[in-house]
Structure formats: C-alpha cells, structure tokens
Amino acid sequence: MARTASGPDPVGCGAGYTLCPGLTLRFPIVQAALGRCDGPALAAAVSRAGGLGCLTIHEADTTGLRARIQRIRHRTSRPVLAAFTAPFERSVVVDAAFAAGIRHFQVFWWNGPHLAPQIRSLGGTVFWQVGTVDQVQDAHHTGADVYIAPGRDAGGQVRTPHSIPELIATIRTVAGPEATIVAGGGLSTRADVAQVLAEGATAALLGTRFLLSEEARAPERDKARLLRADADDLALDLRIIGDWPCVPRRRLLTATGADRPSLFAGKGIDHMGRIPSAAQIVRELAPVSRPPLIR
Ligand SMILES: Cc1cc2nc3c(=O)[nH]c(=O)nc-3n(C[C@H](O)[C@H](O)[C@H](O)COP(=O)(O)O)c2cc1C
C-alpha cells in the first residue's frame, strides 16, 4: 500500500470501473476541469477517495507545474487527470507533467491534434472532450482512449447543443460499443450518476458539485452564493469574452453583473445542499450496489 504524507492511500485498484489500461477507479466519479477553481488539494482529494481528480494546466512555467503535481503526490499516489484547456501547451509542459508522474491527459478539438501524438509517444492516455459529431469523429480517428462528454446542461463553458443521451449515442455510433465515455453536465446526486451510467457512460463527470466542496479554490462567499441559488438564477451568457475558445458560459446571474469562474454553475445546482469535503461528495455520489474494496 502506498504511503503518503497524509497517511495510507485508502484506495485499492483490484475492482471497480476501468477507464483505460492502468486506470481503474473504485467509484465511477470524475471531477471536471474547473480552470482556476480546481487545484492540487481538490484533485488529490477526489482521487484519494476513489474517483478521478482533475488538475487544469495552462501554464508555461514547468517549475510551478512540478510543484503543483508534487502537492498532489504528497496527498495521494492514485492517478489524476491533467486537463490542457489553453489553445495548446508547449511540448516541454507535457514532458514535465509526464516526468512528474501524470499519465492521463484531457485535450479538446483545438489542441488534441497537436498534443495527442506527444502524449501517446510518452505512453500516456488521451481523454478527449467532445460536443459535436465532427469532434467525435476527429477524436476517434486520432485515437482517443476515453471520451469526455459534458452535455448542454453543464456549468461554465457549454460546448455542445446536445443532451447527455444524444452525446453518448453519437459516440457509440462513431466509435463503437466499446468506447469508454465519461458523461455529465447538470449532475449533482447519486440518482443522477446512476442515470448517466444507465444511459451507457462508464463514469459520471461532475464540475459544479466539486466546485461546492471544501477543497475547491473559489472564494467562500461565491460558494455560499451558489449554494443559495437554483437553476432559475443561472443564465447561459452568450457574450464572447476571456476564454479559449470563446463559447457561452453558464453562470450565476448577479445584481452587479459579476462574471468570474467561481460563479460558473450547471443546472444541477438545485440539489447541492451543502459544502462538504470532496471525499464526502465522492461517497455520496457513488453507487451503493458495488460496495468498495479497501486494501
Ligand atoms: C467553476 C467552473 C469552472 C470551469 N472552468 C472550465 C475551464 O476552465 N475550461 C473548460 O473547458 N471547462 C470548464 N468548466 C466546465 C467543466 O469542465 C464541465 O464541463 C462542467 O463543470 C460539467 O457540468 P457541471 O458543472 O454541471 O457538472 C468549468 C465549470 C465550472 C463549474
């Protein structure tokens, strides 16, 4: 059993949900890329609890990146996903992430063609976010290992007009019945997770639920505002500003017009209830039918 600065890692990988070779989760829960609102503490806590945590990477500084990954390693030896959300990353950044122990990388249609060959040549796996049939075809032809499919009810950047079942059906049609799919957008409860698995996903993707966790890097006042909000308080902001590539963002409507990532939220906002630890969230979302193994 791996030992970390925070004690033994409680997750074994003998049973569970296999996303790709070398990555079996105890619970079918994947934390979505949250840009500046995720970070080592959140990614590590989700992975340590048996899901898959995610660290957004958009930096040129490999020293800072190594330090952030090291902060994850102090907390868990379990895998985390690194999401490249910028236009593209320099190859030294990919090399640095790999050298620091990251093996699973999320890309998009704009940077996947550039990054996927390097990730593969290093021996890493490619999680490819898709929202349209063209993007699914590109991902399939380039050899995606896992498809990330946030539907139109997602929080933050909304990059598809399609519902979760429509996206899953498109991926199955293009990539075949064996394709591994992580789907979400608007999920917040165990019933939501069960539903998305019943629709054919291997695991569920959740962003807003993990934004409202103790570990997420958002101001506590913004978390509290979102906790009080419901889906009617959200709007799909069509203004094209400050993002790559520029797309609509679902966020909280505020009296002052405040527009910051820590106020992004998906339609599942109605059922958040409170701001627990990420580990509690993973436990509360996990299917009850497969009791976890601990070793
Ligand atoms: C606070 C927040 C920040 C986000 N930041 C990004 C980002 O920087 N890049 C990106 O591609 N998606 C971003 N997203 C979208 C998520 O990756 C994911 O698609 C979405 O959270 C899933 O829907 P849900 O929030 O309803 O679970 C963000 C979402 C939230 C809630």
pLDDT tens digit sequence for 42-97? 999 999 999 999 999 987 789 999 999 999 999 999 999 999 998 888 999 999 99
For 96, half-sphere exposure in the C-beta direction (CA atoms, 13 angstrom radius) is 19
Ligand 1 pocket check for 268: Cβ under 6 Å: yes
Ligand 1 atom closest to Cα of 263? Answer: 1
Q: What is the pLDDT of residues 229-275, one digit of tens each?
A: 999 999 999 887 766 787 899 999 988 888 899 999 999 999 898 99
Class of the CATH-defined domain 3-218+278-285: alpha beta
Ligand 1 atom closest to Cα of 218? Answer: 1
Nearest residue (by CA) to ligand 1, atom 2, is: 34
156 CA to centre of ligand 1 in angstroms: 5
Ligand 1 pocket check for 39: Cβ under 6 Å: no
Which of 163-168's residues contact partners 24+ apart within 8 Å by CB, and which partners? 164/196, 164/199, 164/201, 165/199, 167/130, 167/131, 168/199, 168/200, 168/201
Ligand 1 pocket check for 85: Cβ under 6 Å: yes
Helical (H) or strand (E) element with 222: helix 220-228
Using an 8 Å Cβ cutoff, are 179 and 172 in contact?
A: yes
Cα–Cα dist 210/18, whole Å? 22
- Give the pLDDT band of residue 292 (cuts 50, 70, 90): low
Cα–Cα dist 252/263, whole Å? 6
Average pLDDT for 179-206: 97
Dihedral of CA 283/15/18/70: which sign?
Answer: positive
Ligand 1 pocket check for 185: Cβ under 6 Å: yes
pTM, whole model, 2 decimals? 0.94
205 CA to centre of ligand 1 in angstroms: 10
Ligand 1 pocket check for 188: Cβ under 6 Å: no
Nearest residue (by CA) to ligand 1, atom 17, is: 33
Q: What is the dihedral of CA 245, 260, 237, 40, to 10 degrees?
A: 50
What is the percent of the chain with per-residue pLDDT over 70, rounded to a whole number?
92
Tell me which of 295 and 217 has the higher pLDDT: 217
CA distances from 15 to 24, 58, 290, 292 (A): 7, 33, 10, 8
Strands (E), 209-268: 234-237, 249-252
| Predicted local distance difference test score (pLDDT) of residue 66 | 96
